[in-house]
Structure formats: C-alpha cells, structure tokens
Amino acid sequence: MNTLGKDWLTEGLIDYEYKKYVLLAYLQGVKKDFESTYLYPQFSDLMFHYQNLKDLKKNKELLFENFPKEISKADFEKLSLEYKKMVQDDDLLQEMEDIILFALPQIQHVMNEGKEIYEYVENNIEISPVGITPLHFNEGYFFIQESNKRELQIFEYRLTIFDGAKERFRAMQTAFLESVHRNLGITLESIKLDLIRKYQKMPNPATYLIAANAPIPLEETLLPVAKRLLVRMVSKI
C-alpha cells in the first residue's frame, strides 16, 4: 500500500515542486487502490491528512509545532535536550503555505472518490438480527457473508465508549473466530447456538448477519464498512 507519512509536509526538503511530486505519487497509488475497491486504510488516511492540513492552514501555531527541530544544546549531566525551531525564514513559511493550498483540493478530490465507493458499499450491505434480540447489545457476534458465497466469516465484537473533547464516541473491537460453510442443514440460528455452546461466555449474545449483495473485498472494504454500519445500528438501539 502506498503511504504518506503524518509529517510529510515538514520533514525532509521543504520545496513546493518536491512536495507536489510526493503528494501526487501518493494520491496516484490511492486512486489505483480505489479502482480495485480497496477502501481502507487509504480512505481514513486521506481524511487524516486533509483535516491536518486544514488545521495547519487555520492555526499558525500548529504549523510551528509541526516544523522539524534541531538540537541547540545538550546537557549531558541532566540528560536533557533543548531545541530551537527552524521557523525564522519568511520564504520557508510562504513555501509551506503554497504547498498546503495546492494539497487541499488534490486530497479532497480523491476523498470524494472514496466517499462514492463507501456509499456504494453501504448500499450493498444488509444487516439483520439472528434469533431473539437481547437487551444487551455491547457485545456479541456477527456473521459476514460475501456475495455468492456459502462461507460465513464469524466474528466476535465488543463495543467500547470513550469521551472526546466535545462528545462521546463508540468504537468496536472485533476478533475473527472461525469460518462456517452454510448449507440447507445449517441455519443461522443453529450456528448461533453452536457458538453459545462452544464459547460459553455469552448465554444470549446479540448476533447479526451482514450480507453483501455485490463483490466487495473483505479485509480492505467489506469488514471495515460493516463494522461502522453495525456500530451505528447498535448505537441507535
């Protein structure tokens, strides 16, 4: 996978043409992955870089904080290092601003392609409960069935809640358990009962079937999008 370092803007040579080349090479790789419907982690990386550049553009203090540092004095007795920032060159700051102004629309354009893929995948996923729905939804199982496949991928999930600066967030931790080949004699309910007998830690777990109606890469796209949809669904409940 083609990657772009989180400090790509300020590390190494700070030159408009060079940074333009680095960015465009990265975006070209992301677009190639999108053509294969490989959405993650590329899509989330794009959003990170886009938001980071917007913050840098809005807040000059963040720009200073992101500049590389060079050692100005080393106190070996106290094992401490003092740094001085390399932000004294007005031409350098202007170069940085030019790079940011170029990069933002370039990243946004590719992000829009990623959003289209996400919406396509979202519209081709169906989530339905398996068996009796319990009152407790924060942990359980989900089955993923890819398009035109009889194989079910079984996952355990656990929802966690953490507080952000302005609001509370939900995150889903998942663990792959096993694959089950489904046929006429094996129902979704019987698979759920087997899981209850086998793992014995949840007597009546919340269980969901996540079915894809189109060919979608499992690891790179289907699983991460399905997790987000399941978090949204359970949160509403």
How far is the C-alpha of 9 from the C-alpha of 22, rounded, in Å? Answer: 10
Distance CA 120, CA 118 (A): 5
Counting residues of the chain whose pLDDT is more than 90, the rounded percentage is: 52
In this prediction, residue 74 carries a pLDDT of 57
Domain end (from 122, 143, 168): 122
> What's the pLDDT score for residue 128?
93
Residues 192 and 113 both lie in one domain: no
pLDDT digits (tens, 9 = 90+) for 55-97: 888 776 666 666 666 555 555 445 455 445 555 556 777 888 8
Q: By the 8 A CB rule, do 67 and 9 touch?
A: no
Pairing mode, if any, of strands 139-145 and 206-212?
parallel
Residue 154 has phi, psi (to 5 degrees) of: -100, 125
pLDDT value of residue 218:
94
The arithmetic mean of pLDDT across residues 185-209, rounded, is 89
Does 220 score more than 90 pLDDT?
Answer: yes
**Domain check: are 203 and 113 in the same one?**
no
* Residue, of 136 and 229, whose pLDDT is higher: 229
Q: What is the pLDDT of residue 60?
A: 64
What is the per-residue pLDDT for 189?
A: 92
Crossing angle for the helix pair 90-123 and 223-236, to the nearest 10 degrees:
80
38 & 117 share domain: yes
Around Cβ 202, how many Cβ atoms within 10 Å? Answer: 16
Tell me: do 109 and 137 sit in the same domain.
no
Q: What is the pLDDT of residues 136-184, one digit of tens each?
A: 788 899 999 998 888 999 999 998 876 555 556 678 889 999 999 888 7
Give me the pLDDT at residue 46, please.
95
- 52 shares its domain with 150: no
Decide if 87 contacts 102 (C-beta within 8 A): no
pLDDT tens, residue by residue, 15-62: 899 999 999 999 999 999 999 999 999 999 999 999 999 988 877 666
- Three-point CA angle 130, 134, 137, nearest 5°: 90
How many other CB atoms are there within 10 angstroms of residue 28's CB atom?
A: 11
Domain that holds residue 138: 125-236
Peptide bond into 41 cis (omega under 30): yes
The pLDDT score that the predictor gives to residue 83 is 46
Nearest to 2, CA basis, from 35, 30, 36, 44: 30
7 assigned to some structural domain:
no
Whether residues 224 and 132 fall in one domain = yes
What are the structure tokens assigned to 180, written together? Answer: 């089950």
* Amino acid present at 7: D
Tell me, yes or no, whether 69 and 134 share the same domain.
no
**Is-above-0.85 flag for pTM?**
no
Q: Are 6 and 48 in contact, with CB atoms under 8 Å apart?
A: yes
Asked whether residue 6 is assigned to any structural domain, the reply reads: no
Give the span between the Cα atoms of 26 and 20, in whole angstroms: 10
